[in-house]
């Protein structure tokens, strides 16, 4: 057994606990052993769409009762679920695909539980945004998750503009019927050379990754057409040449933010790609100059 790894196959579920269970995003074999055990032993499964989730349950012979829990019945069903949890029931929360509470109303139920001091446990597993990022080839040490982009063109354009100078990869979900229009908006606002990756039908038979400059990806998708579930990833903006010195940046950031110099040093060090000690020495020189 690997160090730090534990198993709890025989451990009973804790009464009065909400289990947030990740389920497959396409390939049914992506179900974890723990997730399956929780679904089999829970008193109730709260599912986004019971018809969809029943297929998963039938595949794994899970006999646990299902109840619907989604955006439009959240208020009523949320109260009912909380009442059952208070009475000692064990309930598994699942969504149609992936991890509940990520771009999903499940976070509201989790927050209700937190407010009522009800135990919540994470049962991790598939996530479309993490899966897509892992095969995109784009920087992944830091990233921004933008969820589903707005349906209206003007609102989408506004969101895209916000990422003009974003210094980390942006991951979002998009409808296949709007994808080309979104990419065209990105090209108009961010330039043809900005790198993107389109991940389609993740974990399914027709999984596909189309990556490259916006202009090339748009051309490819115009020829092929767009179908299936889409994750869209936008590469960070190219770093601009610094037009100010480290000293000037230190003075400017402190004046703009009013932060203590220690925090200013960290921010400027990231901006210039320097070590904190180098920037700190520059800050000491500023302090000495001010003292003189």
SS3 call for 171 = strand
pLDDT at position 245:
86
For 80-91, write each residue's pLDDT tens digit: 999 999 999 999
- Mean pLDDT of the region 36-55: 96
Q: Mean of the per-residue pLDDT values for the chain?
A: 91
- Is the per-residue pLDDT at 292 higher than 60? no
pLDDT, tens digit, 9 for 90 and up, residues 225-268:
999 999 999 999 876 555 678 888 888 888 888 888 888 898 88
Q: Which pLDDT value is given to residue 1?
A: 45
Phi-psi region of 266 (alpha: psi -120 to 50; beta: other; left: phi over 0): alpha
Is pLDDT above 50 for 140?
A: yes
Work out the average pLDDT over 71-99: 96
Per-residue HEC secondary structure of 121-156 comes to EEECCCCHHHHHHHHHCCCCCCEEEEEECCCCHHHH
Strand residues in the chain grouped as ranges (E): 17-21, 44-47, 66-68, 91-94, 119-123, 143-148, 169-174, 195-200, 208-213, 230-234
Across residues 139-147, what is the average pLDDT?
93
Residue 9 token pair: 């196959």
Assess whether pLDDT exceeds 60 at residue 146.
yes
Give the integer Cα–Cα distance in Å for 61 and 57.
6
Whether 278 has a pLDDT exceeding 50, the answer reads yes
Q: How many residues does the chain have?
A: 292
pLDDT of residue 9: 64
Q: Which of 217-223's residues contact partners 24+ apart within 8 Å by CB, and which partners?
A: 217/183, 218/180, 218/183, 218/184, 218/187, 221/179, 221/180, 221/183, 222/180
Query: What domains sit in the chain, N to C, each tagged with a CATH number?
Result: 17-126 (3.40.1010.10), 129-234 (3.30.950.10), 246-287 (no CATH)
Question: For 7-43, what is each residue's pLDDT tens digit?
Answer: 556 679 999 999 999 999 999 999 999 999 999 999 9
Once rounded to an integer, what is the mean pLDDT over residues 61-74? 95
- The residue-averaged pLDDT of 156-179 equals 93
Indicate if the pLDDT at residue 138 is higher than 80: yes
Rounded Cα distance between 241 and 272, Å, is 10
Whole-prediction pTM value?
A: 0.77
pLDDT in tens, 197-207: 999 999 999 99
Among 145, 207, 210, 203, CA closest to 183: 210
Residue 153's CB is within 10 A of a number of other CB atoms, namely 12
Percent of the chain residues past pLDDT 70, beyond the cut? 93
pLDDT bracket for residue 283 (50, 70, 90):
confident
Distance, CA of 23 to CA of 114 (rounded, Å): 23
């Amino acid at each position: 057994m690997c160090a730090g790894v534990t198993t709890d196959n025989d451990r009973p579920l804790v009464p009065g606990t909400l289990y947030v269970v990740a389920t497959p995003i396409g390939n049914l074999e992506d179900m974890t052993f723990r997730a399956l055990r929780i679904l089999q032993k829970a008193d109730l499964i709260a599912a986004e769409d019971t018809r969809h989730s029943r297929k998963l349950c039938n595949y794994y012979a899970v006999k646990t009762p299902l109840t619907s829990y989604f955006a439009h019945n959240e208020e009523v069903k949320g109260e009912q679920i909380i009442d059952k949890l208070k009475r000692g029931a064990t309930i598994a929360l699942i969504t149609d695909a992936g991890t509940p509470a990520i771009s999903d109303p499940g976070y509201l139920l989790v927050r209700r539980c937190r407010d009522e001091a009800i135990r919540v446990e994470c049962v991790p597993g598939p996530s479309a945004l993490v899966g897509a990022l892992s095969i995109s080839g784009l920087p992944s040490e830091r990233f921004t998750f933008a969820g589903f982009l707005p349906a209206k063109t003007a609102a989408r354009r506004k969101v895209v503009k916000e990422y003009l100078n974003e210094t980390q990869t942006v991951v979002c979900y998009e409808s296949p019927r709007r994808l080309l229009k979104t990419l065209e908006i990105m090209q108009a606002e961010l330039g043809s050379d900005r790198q993107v990756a389109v991940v389609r039908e993740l974990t399914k038979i027709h999984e596909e990754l189309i990556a490259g400059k916006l202009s090339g990806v748009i051309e490819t998708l115009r020829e092929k057409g767009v179908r299936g579930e889409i994750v869209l990833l936008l590469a960070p903006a190219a770093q601009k040449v610094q037009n100010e010195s480290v000293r000037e940046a230190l003075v400017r950031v402190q004046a703009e933010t009013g932060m203590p110099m220690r925090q200013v040093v960290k921010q400027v060090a990231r901006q210039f790609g320097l070590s904190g000690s180098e920037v700190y020495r520059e800050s000491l020189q500023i302090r000495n100059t001010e003292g003189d």
